[in-house]
Structures are given as C-alpha cells and as structure tokens.
C-alpha cells in the first residue's frame, strides 16, 4: 500500500518545475521526450535539465511515474486547481497579511480608480 503524497505548497515548486508541470497538466501521461517536445523552445533547456526537473517533481510528490518499456511515463498527482488555490492564498497572505478585509479594500480602490480608457 502506497503512502499519500506530502501536501505541497506554492513555495515548494520552482518556476522551472511549474513550467514542466504545466505541460503535464495539459496532457498526461507523457514520456520525458514528450515533455521536452512540448516545452516552449525559448526555454533552451537540455534534455538532462528537463529530466532533472521531472525527477524533482517526483521526489516532491507532485508527479508519479509508471514504467512503459524502457522509459517512464509521468502523470501529475498535484491538481492544478489545488496548486493555484494554494499559490493565491500564499500571495494574499504575503501582500495583505491574510486579511480578507484588506484585500476587499484594495479591490474596491482598484475598481473605483481612474479609467484607463
């Protein structure tokens, strides 16, 4: 019986890892070569870099692997909506001290501010 993955927080996933995870959220399971092919070519990452990022995501419990012949297929365990919610909460806590009233006040000021048109 496998143990459930550790709860991840927005802080634990780097931007590079998030770029790889985003590919897997779009389509999975994928082999490392498929992830590499779907990444933005402007990244200019080597195959080894992407495989290292996949290995880190597996270690962090965000992605799981399954053997497929001589290769592995990668599937996200971390749900995109859960990750986004955690990242949003972390940002609110950082900017507004976790106070919803401060966020509401900022939103009202922003919405009633001068028009950009």
Could you state, in order of their start, the residue ranges of all structural domains in the chain?
Answer: 10-78, 81-111
0.75 cut: is pTM over it?
no
H or E element in which residue 106 lies: helix 100-111
CB atoms inside a 10 Å sphere around CB 56: 17
Q: What's the 3-state SS for 24-86?
A: HHHCCCEEHHHHHHHCCHHHCCCHHHHHHHHHHHHHCCCEEEEEECCEEEEEECCCHHHHHHH
12 closest CA partner among 95, 93, 90 = 90
Pairing of strands 30-31, 63-68: unpaired
> CA-CA distances (angstroms) from residue 57 to 33, 34, 94?
16, 16, 25
* Per-residue pLDDT of the chain in tens (117 residues, 90 and over written 9): 444 545 554 448 999 999 999 999 999 999 999 999 999 989 989 999 999 999 999 999 999 999 999 999 999 999 888 887 777 777 777 777 766 666 666 665 666 666 555
Give me the CATH code for the 10-78 domain, please. 1.10.10.10
């Amino acid at each position: 019986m496998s143990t459930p993955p550790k709860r991840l927080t927005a802080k634990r996933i780097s931007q590079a890892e998030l770029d790889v995870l985003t590919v897997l959220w779009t389509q999975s399971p994928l082999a490392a070569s498929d992830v590499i092919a779907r990444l933005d070519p402007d990244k200019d990452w080597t195959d080894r870099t992407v495989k290292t990022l996949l290995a880190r995501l597996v270690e962090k419990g965000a992605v799981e692997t399954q053997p497929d012949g001589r290769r592995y297929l990668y599937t996200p365990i971390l749900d995109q909506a859960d990750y986004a919610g955690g990242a949003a909460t972390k940002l609110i806590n950082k900017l507004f001290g976790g106070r919803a009233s401060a966020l509401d006040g900022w939103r009202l000021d922003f919405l009633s501010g001068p028009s950009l048109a």
